[in-house]
Amino acid sequence: MSSQQEREAKLAVLNDFELPEVAPFTLDSPVEKRLDATYVDTDDFRLARRGITLRYRTDSSEQEPSGWTLKLPEGGEQFISRQERFFPGEPGVVPTEVSQLVGGLVGDRSLGPVAHMVTDRQERIVRDGTERLAALTDDRVSTGDRYFREIEVELVGDADPERLQPLLDHLTNAGARRATNRSKLHTVLGPTASLPALPVVETLTKRSTAADLVRHAIGKSTNRLIEQSFALQLSGGDIETVHQARVATRRLRSDLRTFRRLFDPDWVESLREELRWIASPLGAVRDLDVMVDRLAGVTRTMNAADQPHGDALVDRLRAQRATALEQLLQSLHEPRFSALIGRLIDASEHAPFTEEANGKAAKVLIPVVKHPWRRLRAEVKQLDDPPTDEALHEVRIKAKRARYALEAAEPVLGKSAERHAEAIAELQGVLGDLHDTAVAQDRLRQIGGSYADPQAALVVGTLIGWEQAQHDLLRQQWESIWEKASKKKLRRWAG
């Protein structure tokens, strides 16, 4: 696989359009090509609706190699930026690497041809003096039953797009009009390919039912999981994308638990079990990310004699993270993950709700949201003095459920639900940090027991001591934060 960044502006022109003079620029003599492209997508255009295209293309002039191209949008205004990834392969057979990469985008649907285009292209290099600034392509596109023409101005290297503005002005003054910077596929497929990405998250109103709100919550988190799991693969395991994908799975599992009385029980438990499956490798990588970040900061402050041992320990954790990431990526490439995404998209559209879910959201959700809040209060009330770390971890889990329930219901329960969720989030954050210190100490003790070098073992002991100090500090903080959350004005769901 190879890749490159594409920055281009598109202009729509009539069939009789003539290129104008473009001084102070000059245009090289045109190079002619005939490009034959087959575009592949699902039958409901799940790639195109996210601005992504996948095609197999050949060049009859053999100036460009045949193969598969995956185009990913990244933004921009006058010159839109796209990432292009190229894959060798044969026509009609999507390479395994590509199908694995887009598996979470297409879900349980199959990829197949959705459009075929033949493009007669004239390509001219745009120069300022002898400097190459851009490639101007004049494309005449035929789909068999449709014909259109467009001009593309693609920047060369790191050329400044501002320098090409006079060229765009020449073209528009001659009759070209700025296009929407959509791909040729979007032009051919029309409005259907420009619908919102699946799952579609509908806007909620005062008349929304409980089912509407739950579909809304599932749809938002499913979109987040789709986007972040795809970005995770593209980035090779970026720390923040791992975190966001994990948060998406946590919210989905929590929401399905909170609102389970509104679903068919067998259906909801089966879906939660599949989410638990993918949450496990996500959690393994995320936990190591947190630990590496924490300990790397401490080892940088160590004295010169201890720092090499500290750095070696952090490197050991990074190696464990690399192994965990490889296992995570394998999970994302499994058909099981694609099937899970398909189920989640389906759930956001027509989950098997009970009759109760058809009631008005605000009325139905008050007792539903009360339940995790009451469970949280009861968990805190029964704590020993002092509470164990395990017990505080249970408080954290119940705080997370109460927070997610309020955040899911906030569109219909209002700002007070949002403020209450924020207060619980602060509690969840402190208890999460407390749990991280406990996990770090356990892992450090395991590592320290394997060291024969006394100096290395001493460094591990120093790190354990630092984690214990953080642990003690956090234990002093959580109660005051809980007091603030528990005294929050809670209105209808406080009982």
Helix 265-299 crosses helix 454-486 at what angle (to 10 degrees)?
130
Distance, CA of 426 to CA of 299 (rounded, Å)? 28
Backbone angle region of 67, left / alpha / beta, with phi > 0 → left and psi within -120 to 50 → alpha: left
- What is the CB neighbour count within 10 angstroms for residue 55? 23
Q: Which amino acid is at 24?
A: P
β-strand pairing of 67-75 with 177-178:
unpaired
Q: Backbone phi, then psi, for 11, in 5-degree steps?
A: -135, 135
Please report the domains of the chain, with CATH numbers, ordered by start residue: 2-194 (2.40.320.10), 210-493 (1.40.20.10)
Q: Would you state the structure tokens that stand for residue 182, as one six-digit string? A: 């959509």
15, 176 contact by CB (below 8 A): no
pLDDT of residue 323: 98
Distance, CA of 340 to CA of 470 (rounded, Å)? 39
For 76-112, letters b (16+ CB in 10 Å) and e give eeebbbbeebebebeeeebbebbbbbbbbbbbbbebe
Q: Backbone phi, then psi, for 151, in 5-degree steps?
A: -110, 135
Maximum C-alpha span of the chain: 84
265, 353 contact by CB (below 8 A): no
Distance, CA of 361 to CA of 211 (rounded, Å)? 8
Task: Note down pLDDT in tens along the chain; length 495 residues.
Answer: 788 889 999 999 999 999 999 999 999 999 999 999 999 999 999 999 999 999 999 998 888 889 999 999 877 667 888 899 999 999 999 999 999 999 999 999 999 999 999 999 999 999 999 999 999 999 999 999 999 999 999 999 999 999 999 999 999 999 999 887 678 999 999 888 889 999 999 899 888 999 999 999 999 999 999 999 999 999 999 999 999 999 999 999 999 999 999 999 999 999 999 999 999 999 999 999 999 999 999 999 999 999 999 999 999 999 999 999 999 999 999 999 999 999 999 999 989 999 999 999 988 988 888 899 999 999 999 999 999 999 999 999 999 999 999 999 888 888 888 888 999 999 999 999 999 999 999 999 988 888 778 888 899 999 999 999 999 999 999 999 998 888 755 555 555
Distance, CA of 262 to CA of 252 (rounded, Å)? 15
